[in-house]
Chain A
């Protein structure tokens, strides 16, 4: 019973983080939220007895993808604009 409650709690947390990531205008926070989704997903894989997939998800989803997105944000623009996104090279 506790097992099911834990899984449902983690799933709700994942949905919440996903909604936050979509609505957030600050892209850095949105990327961190997607990293949190991957982290919870890897915990869920571990609870569902798939440790191989959990390792892959933790390494790729949490570490590598998040860092590559953060480097991209650093090179382009951090805040999402209403009308259209401008790149740094266009602003100059």
Chain B
């Protein structure tokens, strides 16, 4: 009886899936005649209305900004889950369960490289609307800089309260900018600042603000991950 029901259910689902696939005209013009495809609307609006040089950024932060908020939330939940699984009472402040005995070359080299890596990461997320990259990429680059310092120095520590404060403030900034767009009479995450001139550093309205917030948030979260794994 059970098997018959399962086969019947599968047949119904399969029938509707197949009929839907036959209705889709693969390789044909998907839009009604006279209506612009979505990609053309995006490419037009990016340059003319938003004044953003990088189309990927304008789609990720503006047109699909709500999805980005969801992605940031997913990363936050993953980091929280990792922290709760790996949580244990700290032995002593500064003591680490994984110890690396780094040589003089590694410690001097990482001391030299650390500011350069942080600068590169900050550049990548501040210029997210002009050049390839953005908040997520820049945040990961800065987190690798912190990873280098944590590997080189046994007693290098990042303040956990500071990380959580930065992380929360960045999240609040992202959601707050979105809500300000609603207060100014638009939709969630709609641009309300002057857009400026194309290719300028101060252009694109709220997009740089959101990307800087995302950059700080990702930096704090991934540094927290590395710190938790190493301790």
Contact = CB atoms under 8 A, between A and B. Distances in A.
B229 A68 contact: yes
Given A68-B229, A71-B98, A52 B133 contact: yes
Q: How large is the interface on A (under 10, 10 to 19, 20 to 34, 35 or more residues)?
A: 10 to 19
Interface stretch (B20-28, B137-145, B170-178, B182-190): B137-145
A88 interface: no
A50 to B, nearest CB: 9
Interface in A6-51: 51
Contact of B56 (A52, A59, A64, A71): A52
Contacts of B147: 63-64, 67
Classify chain B's interface size.
20 to 34
B137 A59 contact: yes
Contacts, number: 43
A72 B98 CA distance: 10
B133 A55 contact: yes
Nearest to B97: A75
A72 B226 CA distance: 11
Contact of A64 (B97, B132, B143): B143
A59 B230 contact: no
A52 B132 contact: yes
Nearest to A55: B137
Interface string A49-92: 00110111001100110011001101100000000000000000
Contacts of A54: 132
Given A59-B140, A59-B144, A71-B98, A64 B222 contact: yes
A72 B144 CA distance: 17
Contacts of A75: 97-98
B140 A64 contact: yes
A22 B37 CA distance: 44
A63 B136 contact: no
A59 B151 CA distance: 17
Interface in B122-167: 124, 132-134, 136-137, 140-141, 143-144, 147, 151
A52 B147 CA distance: 22
Contacts of B229: 68, 71-72
Interface string B203-231: 00000000000000000001001100110
Nearest to A75: B98
A57 to B, nearest CB: 10
A52 B98 contact: no
Contacts of B143: 64
22 contacts: A51-B132, A52-B132, A52-B137, A54-B132, A55-B124, A55-B132, A55-B137, A56-B136, A59-B140, A59-B144, A63-B147, A64-B140, A64-B143, A64-B147, A67-B147, A67-B151, A68-B226, A71-B98, A72-B229, A74-B98, A75-B97, A75-B98
